[in-house]
Structure 1
Amino acid sequence: MTLPKLFRDRASMWSDKTCVKVKREGKYRDASWKTFYEEVSATAAGLMNAGLSPGDRVAILSHTRYEWSMSDAAILSAGGITVPLYPSLTKPEIVSLLRRSGSRYLFTSDAELAKLVAGLIDEVEFVEKVIVFEEGALEGISSKKFVSLKSFSSGKVDRARLDARIDAAKEEDVFTIIFTSGTTGEPKGVMLTHRNMISNVEAALSIFDIGPGDLHLSHLPLAHVLERLGCYVMFYSGAAVAYAEHINKVADNMAEVAPTISVSVPRIFEKIYAGIQAKALEAPFLTRQLAFRAIKVAQKVGQRRDSDQKIPAHLSWQFAIADKLIYSKIRQKFGGRIRIFVSGGAPLAPELALFFNAIGIPVFEGYGLTETSPIISANVPGNQHAGSVGNIVPGVQCRIAPDGEITVKGPNVFKGYYQDEAATKAAFDEDGWFLTGDIGRFDQYGCLRITDRKKDLIVTAGGKKVAPQKIENILKLDKFIEEVMLYGESKKFMTALVVPDFAWLEKYAAYKKIPWTSRTDLVADPKIIDLITRRIERAQAGTHLASYESIKKFVLLDHSFSQHEGEVTPTLKIRRKNITERYKPLLEKLYEEG
C-alpha cells in the first residue's frame, strides 16, 4: 500500500461519506470523499501538466488547513515528494530549505505568506510555480510564477495518466522529506517512505479503536510529522478530519465540532491547565475554593487509578460531586465527546496526565521522532501510566543500549537523511539499530520512560548527571512560570533562565501594588524576584530532586523565548545551544557572585 493508492481506494469505497470538515462563511461544512478526491485529482493533474516528474520535490508553506492535506495528497498522487515548511520560518530559512530540497513547485496559503514568498522568489530561480490557496492573496504580486490554486487546477484531468502515476509508486519510494526542527544544529532532511508511514498508521490503528463516526480536530502544524500521521490515520480508517481555524481558536473549534480525537503537544495541555486555574481564581470565593479543591481531588483520584489502587469511599464521593459541578463543564469545553487525546513531541508532566485522565479527558502520551514516522511507543486505553510513554507499538523493536540510549528497528525507521550520507551513517549503530539520542528505561509495567535527551544531559563539576527536562517540567507546572532552561555544565550548582507567565505576574503586581512601567522594571523588582524564588523552592521541595539537581540561582527574563531569534523550534521546543550562547554572560555572572 502507498499513500496515493490509499486516497484513491478510500474515495472509491466511501465516495459519499464525509472526509473533512472545513469552516467557511462562519460554519463548519462537510466535504465528501468524492469532493476531496476530485480536488486532489485536479491539483495532481495541474502538477503533471506543469511538468512535474516522479520524484520531483514540491514544498508546502502553509498553516494547517484543508488545502494543506489536499495539496499533499495531490503531490503524492502525481508522483512528487512533499517537502513541508513551517509557516513561521524566516525568509533565509525558507530560501535555504527550498535550495537544499531543490523544490520545483511551492504551495502557499494566504496574503501574508504569499507576500513573503514574493520577496524571496528571485533568490530561488529553480522554483517554477507558486500555487496560492487564497485567490485574493495574489493582489499586488506581479511575478508570473504565481497562480491561484483555482486556476492551477482548472485543467482537464487525464484519469488514465493519473492512475498510471499512482500505480507506479512503490512502498519503498520516498514520499516526503521533512527537515527536522533542529534543536541542536542545522536541520536535516528526513526521508520517509510510503512503507514507513503506512506501517505506523497501521500500528496506531492496532492500539486505538478509530473508524467511521470518529472526528479528529487538526490544529498542530501539518509540517510536523505527528499531525500529519494523525490525518493519515483518519483517512485510512474512515474517520473525518476537521481543521481548526487557527491555534488560538482551538478551544472554540472544539466546542463547535465536538471531536472524538485530537493530537497535541504538552505546551497546549499546560496552557489549558493554566487556563482552568486562571478561571477558578477569577471566580467568587466559594466557587474558587470548590474549583481548587476539585483540582486536588482529581490529582488524588488520578494517582490511585494510575497505580491500580482502590479509591476510598470519601474520595469517590468528593469526586462525584466535583464531576457534576466542575469536571463535566470542562469536558463540555472540549465538545463533550473527546475520547482520545494524544500528546507527543515533548515530555508531558505526569501531574497533567493524571489530572486530565481523572476528569474524563483521556490523554495518551506517546514517544517518537520524525525519523521513526513517528510513533515508537504509546500509552493506550486500559494501560496508561503517567510519566511513561507507554509500550512499544506493534512491529517496532526497541532496546536500551549499555549507555542508556534508546535504539530502534522496524518498518517505520526512515530511509536516511537527504543528500547526507555521513549523518545517515552516524544515526545507526553497527548492527543497524537507529540511535534516537534519548536516554530511557523500561518500568515494571513494561512501559518506556524517557529520562532526557542524551545531548541535553548536564554533567556538574562533581560529575553528577542532571536531566534538565524533568526539572523544567516540574517548574513549568507553576502558574507563574511559562518557560525554564537549566544551566550548569561543569558547574558547582545548577542555575536557570526563567520566563515568567506575565499574565499572572501582572495580576500579582496589581494585587501587591507593585509599581512598574515596563516588563524590565517588573522582573527586576525585589518583590517579584522573591516571589519566583519562593515558587521555585516550593516546586522543588514537593519532589524528590537531589540537592545537585535543584536550582540555586536564576535569571528572570523580561520576554519569552523567541522562534524568530532561533530560541525555540516551530513546535515550541527550546534550542538549548542557541539560548545558552545568547544568555551565557548573564548565566555566568550568577557563578561570579558566589
Structure 2
Amino acid sequence: MTIAVGDYVGPDASKVESRPPTVAHAFLDRIAATPEREAFRYPTGDDSTGGWLSVTWREVGERVRKLSAGLIALGVEPEQRVAVYGSTTYEWILADLATMCAGAATTTVYPASVASEVAFIVSDAECQVVFAEDDDQLKKLAEKRSEMPTVKAIVTFNGTPDEANNVLSLADLEAKGAAYLEDHPDAIDKAVAAIGPESLATLIYTSGTTGRPKGVRLAHDCWTYEGAAIEALGILNIDDLQFLWLPLAHSFGKVLQVAQLVIGFSTAVDGRVDKIVENLGIVKPTFMGAAPRIFEKAHGRIVTMMEEEGGVKEKLFHWAFGVGRKVSQLRQAGREPSGALAIQYKLADRLVLSKIRARFGGRQRFFVSGAAALNRDIAEWFHAAGILIVEGYGLTETSAASFVNLPGRFRFGTVGPVVPGTEVKIAEDGEVLVRGPGVMRGYHNLPELTAEVLDSEGWFHTGDIGELEDGLLRITDRKKDLFKTSGGKYVAPALIESSFKALCPYASNVLVYGSERNFVSALVTLDPDAIVAWAEQNEVSGSYDEIVTSTAAQEMVQGYVDQLNAKLNRWETVKKFAILDHDLTVENGGITPSLKLKRKAVEKKYSDVLDGFYPK
C-alpha cells in the first residue's frame, strides 16, 4: 500500500513548497523577521540572571556572523566539513550555524565518543576545523591528532587554548572573524548566496551498533524541507517554548533546531540529562522532544515514590489514575467526560494529576517521543495524567521526521501519519519504504552501501517492519532484529523489551535473546537511582552490584517477568534471565548516545551468560 504525497496534509501544505533554499537562508530570514524576539536561553549558574541568560535572534546573528567569518579566515571552503564535538549547549548551536553560513558542512561527533572513533569520523569526513567542548575533548583529539591530517585548527568552547598547536578559544575565532569582516563586510552574504538546496549541510555518522559508523549525507534541502513540513502540520507556533536537551549530534535534536528557525519559537538549551526534570520545573516549556528512556525513567520514579509512600496517598494515587485512564480512553475516541466521571476527574486532577504535570513544568501542550519505540502502556499512563506524548518515527537517513502523531490525530501504538511531502510504501516482506526530500543523498564515500538501501526509484529501505492502519504507521520491529526460535516461531524482541520496562519501574535496560534457541531468555539491568530506594524499602543493604544480584532483587524481577509472560504468546515467554551487576551505558558500549540498545555488541559481550542459559 502506498500513501501518495498529499494524501495527508497539514493546515498549510503550501509551506513545504515555499521553503527556504538553505538552512543559512532560513536563519538569516528568521533574524530579519523577528530580530528582538528571544531565540535561546541557556544556563549560566549566575544567580543575578536567575541562572539562565536569554539572547535575541539579532544577538545570535551577530555572533554567528563573526564565527562564520572566522572559519572563512581559517581557509574553510564551500562544502568542506567542520566537526562539532560536544554536548548540547548554546555554543554547539552557534558553531553549527556559523559552519553553514560559511558554506561549509557540519560533521557531528558525540561527546562520549572514544578517541579512535573521533579520529575515524574527522578523518573520513576530511574535516578542516574541529569545535571541541572542553579539555576532555581536546585530550582525545591530541591523542589522535596525527590521524587527522586535514585539521587546520581546533576551536574550544570551554577548554584551554594552545596557540602552539593552533587550538583557539571561541573568543579568538570571533576576533579573527571580526577582523576579517572589516576588510570583507559582505563575506557572509556572499557565502550564503553561493549555497544551494543540494549543497551538503550535515554529515551525521550513525552510532554503528556493529563495525565502523557510516556518514549520512544530508543536504540543506533535507533540513529546510523538514522544518517546513513541521510548520505545515500546524502543531507548533512562534509563541511556543521548547526545552532542548537531545544530543545535537543526533538527527532528532537537529530537526527540532531547524524547525525553530522556520517557525521562530524560543528554545531553552541544556544537554545535561541529570538536570532534565529540574530544568522542566524552571523553564516550564510548552513542548519537548525526548527518547523513550526519559519517559520510562520518569514513570518509574513517580510510581516507586507512591509505593514508598504507601497508605492513603498510594490509594489516592491509584484511584486518580484509574479515573484518568477512563478519561483518556474517552479522549482517544474524541469525546469528553460528563456526569459523575467529569466530577471525579475534576477532583482527581486537583488532588493528584495536576501535581504530576507540575513536575514537568505545568505548561506542556505535548511531548514528542522519537529515536526508539515508545511503549503504549507508558504513553497511556502519561495521557491519563493529562500529558500527551506524540510518538514520531524517522531515521538519520530520512533527516529524522518522516511520521508523527498529532494532537488532533493520534493513536497510541502507532507513529502517526506521514508528514506532508513524504511518501510511504510497505514492501511485500513488511519493510517500511520512504521517499521524499528528507531522504539522505547517500552514505559518505560508500556507494555500494548506499545502493543497498536506496533503490533506483528513490525509495529508502528503512530496515523496519511495519503496517498502515487508517493511514497511521505501526512499527512492529527492526527487520534485522527479528529472530526465529529453533521451533520456527518469529519473535520481535524490541516489543517484549519495552513491555517489560513499562511493567517494571526498576528496569533500566533489557535484552531479549533466543535466535535459533529452543526458548527465549533475557539480560536485565536495574536503574541505579530507583533500585536504591527499593533496597531501603526491602531492607536490602550493600553496594549497587550487591543489591541487584541479591536473592530479593532476583525474586522481584521474577515477579515482573511472570506478569510479562502472562501477556505473551507461549513461544515468546522469557524462561530464564540474568540481572547484570552494572547498568548499560554509552561509556561501556551498551547503548548508543540516543539511548538505544546496542544489541549485537551486548550479545557479544555477554555471550557466556547467554550461552549458559542453554545447556549443551
Shorter-chain-normalised TM-score: which range? Answer: over 0.9
Spell out the pairing of 1:76-115 with structure 2 (5 A cutoff): 76-115=100-139
Q: Give the residue type in structure 1 aligned to 2:79.
A: G
Whole-angstrom distance in 2 between the partners of 1:214 and 1:402:
41
| Paired-residue identity, % | 34
2:254 to 220, 225, 228: 228
Asked if structure 2 preserves the Cα contact closer than 8 Å seen for 1:58 and 1:80, the reply is yes
Q: Structure 1 residue 479: deviation in Å?
A: 1.2
| Alignment TM-score, normalising by the size of structure 1 | 0.94
* 2:370 equivalent to 1:344: yes
Change (3 A) 1:257 1:237: same
Asked if structure 2 preserves the Cα contact closer than 8 Å seen for 1:277 and 1:292, the reply is no
Residue aligning to 2:171: 150
Change (3 A) 1:208 1:248: farther
Whole-angstrom distance in 2 between the partners of 1:69 and 1:262:
17
Residue aligning to 2:565: 540
Residue aligning to 1:163: 189
| Alignment TM-score, normalising by the size of structure 2 | 0.91
Whole-angstrom distance in 2 between the partners of 1:184 and 1:303:
41
Q: Give the residue type in structure 2 aligned to 1:467.
A: A
2:590 to 567, 577, 594: 567
Greater relative contact order (CA < 8 Å, ≥ 6 in sequence): 2
Residue aligning to 1:441: 467
Q: Give the residue type in structure 2 aligned to 1:219.
A: W
| Per-residue Cα deviation, 1:487-542 (whole angstroms, up to 9, x for no partner) | 1001111001111234444444444444x54444444433332221111111332x
Change (3 A) 1:592 1:447: same
SS in 1 for 2:475: strand
1:479 to 505, 523, 539: 505
Q: Structure 1 residue 314: deviation in Å?
A: 4.4
Q: Structure 1 residue 284: deviation in Å?
A: 5.9
More moved, 564-573 vs 40-49: 564-573
Whole-angstrom distance in 2 between the partners of 1:518 and 1:358:
36
Whole-angstrom distance in 1 between the partners of 2:452 and 2:430:
17
Q: Give the residue type in structure 1 aligned to 2:560.
A: R
More moved, 401-410 vs 208-217: 208-217
More moved, 469-478 vs 3-12: 3-12
* 2:30 equivalent to 1:5: no
Q: Structure 1 residue 113: deviation in Å?
A: 2.5
Residue aligning to 2:577: 554
| Per-residue Cα deviation, 1:235-279 (whole angstroms, up to 9, x for no partner) | 211111111262211222222222112111101111111121133
| Per-residue Cα deviation, 1:321-366 (whole angstroms, up to 9, x for no partner) | 1111112122222222111311100000111211222323221100
| Per-residue Cα deviation, 1:292-312 (whole angstroms, up to 9, x for no partner) | 332333334323432457757
Q: Give the residue type in structure 2 aligned to 1:529.
A: Q
| Per-residue Cα deviation, 1:564-589 (whole angstroms, up to 9, x for no partner) | 23221111111111111111121111
Change (3 A) 1:142 1:373: same
1:63 to 79, 84, 87: 87
SS in 1 for 2:434: strand
RMSD: 1.9
More moved, 330-339 vs 304-313: 304-313
Whole-angstrom distance in 1 between the partners of 2:250 and 2:534:
37
Asked if structure 2 preserves the Cα contact closer than 8 Å seen for 1:379 and 1:390, the reply is yes
SS in 2 for 1:54: coil
Residue aligning to 1:576: 599
Residue aligning to 1:127: 151
Asked if structure 2 preserves the Cα contact closer than 8 Å seen for 1:18 and 1:31, the reply is yes
Change (3 A) 1:523 1:32: closer
Whole-angstrom distance in 1 between the partners of 2:336 and 2:258:
39
Residue aligning to 1:240: 266
Residue aligning to 2:14: none
Unmatched 5+ residue regions in structure 2? Answer: 1-20
Asked if structure 2 preserves the Cα contact closer than 8 Å seen for 1:494 and 1:549, the reply is yes
Whole-angstrom distance in 2 between the partners of 1:530 and 1:283:
22
| Per-residue Cα deviation, 1:32-64 (whole angstroms, up to 9, x for no partner) | 111100100000000011111111100000111
Q: Structure 1 residue 425: deviation in Å?
A: 0.4
Q: Give the residue type in structure 2 aligned to 1:460.
A: T
Residue aligning to 2:16: none
Q: Give the residue type in structure 2 aligned to 1:118.
A: A
Asked if structure 2 preserves the Cα contact closer than 8 Å seen for 1:297 and 1:318, the reply is yes
Aligned pair count?
586
1:293 to 295, 319, 325: 319
Residue aligning to 1:370: 396
SS in 2 for 1:153: helix
Change (3 A) 1:142 1:174: closer
Spell out the pairing of 1:154-233 with structure 2 (5 A cutoff): 154=175, 155-156=178-179, 157=181, 158-233=184-259
Q: Give the residue type in structure 2 aligned to 1:147.
A: L
SS in 1 for 2:480: helix
Q: Give the residue type in structure 2 aligned to 1:575.
A: K
Q: Give the residue type in structure 2 aligned to 1:463.
A: G
Residue aligning to 1:138: 160
Change (3 A) 1:283 1:71: same
Whole-angstrom distance in 1 between the partners of 2:423 and 2:534:
50
More moved, 120-129 vs 417-426: 120-129
Whole-angstrom distance in 2 between the partners of 1:290 and 1:236:
45
Asked if structure 2 preserves the Cα contact closer than 8 Å seen for 1:280 and 1:292, the reply is no
More moved, 182-191 vs 94-103: 182-191
Spell out the pairing of 1:302-381 with structure 2 (5 A cutoff): 302-308=328-334, 311=337, 313-381=339-407
| Per-residue Cα deviation, 1:112-149 (whole angstroms, up to 9, x for no partner) | 32333333334423211111112xx216x574311101
Change (3 A) 1:263 1:41: same
Whole-angstrom distance in 2 between the partners of 1:505 and 1:30:
38
Whole-angstrom distance in 1 between the partners of 2:262 and 2:389:
22
Whole-angstrom distance in 2 between the partners of 1:215 and 1:197:
21
Residue aligning to 2:60: 36
More moved, 23-32 vs 47-56: 23-32
Q: Give the residue type in structure 1 aligned to 2:303.
A: Q
More moved, 562-571 vs 503-512: 503-512
SS in 2 for 1:391: coil
Residue aligning to 1:497: 523
| Per-residue Cα deviation, 1:448-506 (whole angstroms, up to 9, x for no partner) | 00000000001111111111111000101111322110110011110011112344444
1:253 to 279, 284, 295: 279
Asked if structure 2 preserves the Cα contact closer than 8 Å seen for 1:438 and 1:450, the reply is yes
Asked if structure 2 preserves the Cα contact closer than 8 Å seen for 1:179 and 1:187, the reply is yes
Asked if structure 2 preserves the Cα contact closer than 8 Å seen for 1:57 and 1:105, the reply is yes
Q: Give the residue type in structure 1 aligned to 2:406.
A: V
Asked if structure 2 preserves the Cα contact closer than 8 Å seen for 1:441 and 1:450, the reply is yes
Q: Give the residue type in structure 1 aligned to 2:252.
A: L
